[in-house]
Amino acid sequence: MAFSILIFIYRKAGVTPEDFRTHCQTKLVPLHKEIAGEHYALSHTAHYIQRTEGPKVDGNTKRNPTTPATVFMGTQADADWEAIAILEFRDQAHFQAYLGLMMVPENAARIAETEGVVIDNSKTTIVAVGATEVNKKD
C-alpha cells in the first residue's frame, strides 16, 4: 500500500522566498536524490506559499516582515511556514529504507549543512498521511 509523508518547511528569517525555492530545488532535492538513489521517493511535490513583496504591516511575522502570505482565512502567523513537501513511497518499508539512508551520520551531516542555509529546522514538522480523498467536479 502506498505511503506518503507531508513535510511543513519553514524558511529562515532573512532568506527571501525566491532564494529559498531556488536553494531547495537546485541543492537540497538533488542531494536527497543522490543519497537515496533507488530508495528516493516515487514522487516529491513541493507547494510553496504565495507571498507578495510589500511594506511591513501589523500582523506580519518576524520570518515574513515584508513578504506576507495570501491568507483567505486565519492569520499571517498561521501561514508562517514556507512550503509543504509531499513525498510518496511504494509502502512504509520503502520509506524506512529512504529514512535509514538520510539518517546515516555522514549523510545527515550533509543534509543538515545544506538545509541550514535556508531552512529553520527547529520548526519543521513531518507527518504520515492517512486516508486520501480526491473530489473532482462532476
4 DSSP assignment: E
Assess contact for 128 and 4: CB atoms under 8 A: yes
Residue identified by cell 504591516 is 57
pLDDT tens-digit series, residues 104-134: 999 999 999 999 999 999 999 999 998 888 8
The pLDDT of residue 62 is: 83
Q: Assess whether pLDDT exceeds 90 at residue 60.
A: no
User: Which CATH topology does 3-128 take?
Assistant: Alpha-Beta Plaits (3.30.70)
Q: Give the three-class secondary structure for 108.
A: helix
Set of cell numbers at residue 6? 507531508
Set of cell numbers at residue 35? 543519497
Q: Assess whether pLDDT exceeds 90 at residue 9.
A: yes
The pLDDT of residue 52 is: 86
This prediction's pTM: 0.88
